[in-house]
Amino acid sequence: MHAELDTGQYPTGSQVSDDEIAALPITRHRFHGDRNYTLHPQHPMDAMAVKSTSGQAPANKPHRLTRHWLQDPELTGMTRQQLSGLIDALTPALEVQREQVLRTRRGHERLAAPGAGAKAKLTTADRILVTVLHLRKLAKMDLLGQLFGVTAPTISRAKQEVGPLLEAHGHHITAFTARFRTPSDVATFLASKPT
């Protein structure tokens, strides 16, 4: 290893926006990806585009992360079976809780059959999943909103509903060591997992 003193003059107080950071060709590492990362000469997705054949989908299209991808054990900190069991355990309580909130909002009992009216922006399973991912501290609410196709306040409401139920059922969610800033960070992380 070689190091030498850089005697150049540089302006102080320069700030880099989150959008500028997100545009950098960075692959975040599994352990503390907020501090440990590789900076590439070009974005890994662009490099894949050069290697892709004409029969493959264009690499410049953003990765579509399905719920299956977002339920990955490395992201959730539990096996898919454990996550499914958690969803099964919390769903009845969440449905009762939601009905109570709606009754309070209406000021009276339901007049229409269950399922009528406006649909929830997130399914019960998604509300549980997004809360687990947020408690794992792997992404801010804005990014989780992008991944689930909703706004950050919707993610916040889901966490407020599900968080106390997790505690009441004795489920402790441990923080993850990687941090993601963009959907492509998550996609690159999952794509780099050993098979």
Q: What is the pLDDT of residues 126-147, one digit of tens each?
A: 999 999 999 999 889 999 999 9
Q: What is the pLDDT of residue 35?
A: 72
Total residue count of the chain as it appears in this document: 195
**CA 127 – CA 157 distance, rounded (Å):** 9
Per the listing, tokens 């009441």 go with 168
Q: Mean pLDDT, consecutive 10-residue segments, the chain of 195 residues?
A: 85 78 71 72 51 41 71 91 92 82 71 62 90 92 91 91 89 86 86 68
Q: What is the pLDDT of residue 88?
A: 92
| Residues facing 37 on adjacent strands | 28
Q: Which residues of the chain form beta strands (DSSP E)?
A: 26-28, 37-39
**CA 144 – CA 185 distance, rounded (Å):** 12
R_g over Cα of the chain: 21
Q: What is the pLDDT of residue 114?
A: 60
Contact between 175 and 134 under an 8 Å Cβ cutoff? The reply is no
Q: What is the pLDDT of residue 83?
A: 92
Q: What is the pLDDT of residue 172?
A: 87
Report helix, strand or coil for 6. coil
Residue 34 tokens, joined: 């907020």
List all residues 6 or more positions away from 163 whose beta carbon is below 8 Å from its beta carbon.
131, 135
